[in-house]
């Protein structure tokens, strides 16, 4: 790792990568280079290092690069030699627990396996500690303090450490009972695509556990959910570089950015159990809730909450289909009919599973985006509801 800059990797889905690029550039990252399901970048200070863990909403994790090198002919002994050259006593203490994940990029070619890579790194680390301290850190596969990632692609080797600990998509507000929730990072990405900033009314009539409502509230109120995460739940807190005073200063500054502005957010669901769960999640979100309204209601008989606004919703699919047996082609047709009849002058953004008859909605989307949610291929369909005809923009995906 360079002495005058902090080299990092942001991990995300391939579909959300352009959004992560934008976020990193806007926050002040440099040397930003996209890769497969990842973005390499540099930071000029540890103030910014702590800030990205709170402010970036589209990454699932960050990795701090400790060593990168080009190997002559990748072997376990060559990796062991390289890892042994690192001054591990400057990175973490032997009383910490750790694990190593080996990631071979060339999985379809002959070469080192993930187990061979991780074993070579682990043994080299422990041997170095034994020679320096007379004791070595223990491996913990279930709940380690630190997780190291050893990435090998052809002859390129990168050793990094996960600075997040718990994945960044786990904001801490969700109870986890809903059968098919939208991932928090994906909800935030969709709101970013839609240009939502809290200045317009937002409505989710299929809100489920309320993820869209909470992520929208975080945007509108300049609130960062991970500010409520315990210090010990971040991987960087177990590294010797951790500066607790600076960390607390950054948290204090970001908490002062929060605004209790009157962003009007509405949510409903036909299932009272989901409504109860959404209320529980909102109560745990640390948001200003006065202007966030939720209720039990049937979309097909509901009234729009304002003359114009943004509807964003994750339509039922996957496991939730077993809870909503009536969902079929006629359901999507009814959705389209309701939108045409009652949501003039609204922007509509619907997340649908690719293998559902969503075309029965009967509206031409102005834009489409492909994503993965919980292992399910989904599409984001954006409709502009207006009177008369209007040219639509070129589709982002087919």
Task: Note the pLDDT tens digit of each residue in 289-298.
Answer: 999 999 999 9
User: Kindly report the CA angle at 321 between 320 and 322, in degrees rounded to 5?
Assistant: 90
The answer to whether 309 and 203 are in contact (CB under 8 A) is yes
The answer to whether 286 and 225 are in contact (CB under 8 A) is yes
Kindly report, residue by residue over 343-362, the tens digit of the pLDDT.
999 999 999 999 999 999 99
Q: Is the pLDDT of residue 224 over 70?
A: yes
How many whole angstroms separate alpha carbon 25 and alpha carbon 365?
Answer: 30
The mean pLDDT value of the chain amounts to 91
HSE (CB half, 13 Å, CA atoms) of 364?
9
HSE (CB half, 13 Å, CA atoms) of 46?
13
How many whole angstroms separate alpha carbon 310 and alpha carbon 297?
Answer: 18
Q: Is the pLDDT of residue 261 over 90?
A: no
Kindly report, residue by residue over 140-159, the tens digit of the pLDDT.
999 999 999 999 998 899 99
How many whole angstroms separate alpha carbon 162 and alpha carbon 139?
Answer: 15
The answer to whether 377 and 354 are in contact (CB under 8 A) is yes
**Token pair in block for residue 393:** 């923009």
Multiple choice CATH, 6-162, 3.30.70.1060, 3.30.2130.30, 3.40.1360.10, 3.30.70.340: 3.30.2130.30
Q: Is the pLDDT of residue 204 over 80?
A: yes
Kindly report, residue by residue over 33-59, the tens digit of the pLDDT.
999 999 999 999 999 999 999 999 999
Q: Is the pLDDT of residue 194 over 60?
A: yes
Q: How confident is the model at residue 179 (pLDDT cuts 50, 70, 90)?
A: low
What DSSP designation does 105 have?
S
Q: What is the domain class of 184-223+258-384 according to CATH? A: alpha beta
Q: Is the pLDDT of residue 322 over 90?
A: no
Q: How confident is the model at residue 392 (pLDDT cuts 50, 70, 90)?
A: very low
| Residue bearing the bigger pLDDT, 110 or 123 | 123
Q: What is the mean pLDDT of residues 58-83?
A: 94
Domains 6-162 and 184-223+258-384 share a fold: no
Domain ranges within the chain, ordered by starting residue: 6-162, 184-223+258-384
Q: What is the mean pLDDT of residues 225-239?
A: 95
Phi, psi of 127 (to 5 degrees): -65, -40
């Amino acid at each position: 790792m360079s002495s005058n800059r902090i080299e990092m990797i942001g991990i995300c889905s391939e579909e959300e990568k352009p959004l992560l690029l934008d976020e990193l550039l806007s926050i002040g990252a440099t040397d930003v280079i996209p890769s497969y399901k990842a973005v390499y970048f540099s930071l000029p200070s540890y103030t910014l290092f702590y800030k990205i863990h709170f402010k970036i909403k589209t990454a699932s994790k960050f990795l701090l690069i400790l060593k990168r090198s080009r190997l002559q002919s990748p072997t376990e002994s060559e990796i062991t030699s390289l890892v042994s050259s690192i001054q591990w006593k400057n990175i973490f203490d032997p009383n910490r627990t750790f694990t190593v994940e080996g990631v071979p990029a060339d999985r379809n070619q002959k070469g080192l396996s993930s187990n061979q890579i991780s074993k070579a790194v682990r043994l080299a680390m422990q041997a170095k500690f034994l020679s320096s301290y007379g004791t070595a850190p223990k491996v913990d596969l279930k709940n380690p303090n630190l997780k190291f990632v050893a990435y090998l692609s052809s002859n390129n080797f990168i050793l990094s450490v996960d600075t997040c600990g718990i994945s960044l998509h786990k904001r801490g507000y969700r109870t986890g009972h809903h059968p098919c929730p939208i991932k928090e990072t994906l909800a935030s990405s969709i709101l970013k695509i839609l240009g939502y900033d809290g200045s317009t009314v937002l409505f989710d009539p299929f809100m489920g556990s309320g993820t869209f409502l909470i992520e929208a509230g975080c945007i509108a109120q300049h609130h960062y959910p991970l500010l409520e995460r315990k210090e010990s739940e971040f991987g960087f807190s177990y590294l010797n570089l951790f500066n607790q005073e600076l960390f607390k200063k950054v948290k204090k500054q970001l908490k002062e950015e929060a605004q209790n502005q009157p962003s009007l957010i509405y949510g409903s669901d036909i299932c009272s159990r989901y409504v109860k769960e959404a209320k529980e999640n909102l109560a745990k979100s640390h948001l200003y809730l006065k202007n966030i309204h939720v209720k039990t209601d049937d979309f097909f008989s509901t009234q729009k909450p304002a003359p114009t606004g943004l509807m964003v919703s994750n339509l039922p699919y996957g496991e939730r289909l077993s809870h909503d047996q009536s969902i079929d082609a006629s359901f999507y047709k009814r959705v389209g009919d309701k939108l045409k009849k009652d949501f003039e002058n609204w922007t509509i953004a619907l997340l649908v599973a690719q293998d559902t008859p969503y075309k029965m909605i009967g509206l031409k989307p102005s834009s489409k985006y492909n994503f993965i949610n919980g292992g399910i291929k989904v599409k984001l369909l954006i409709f502009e509801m207006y009177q008369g005809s209007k040219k639509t923009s070129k589709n982002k995906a087919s």
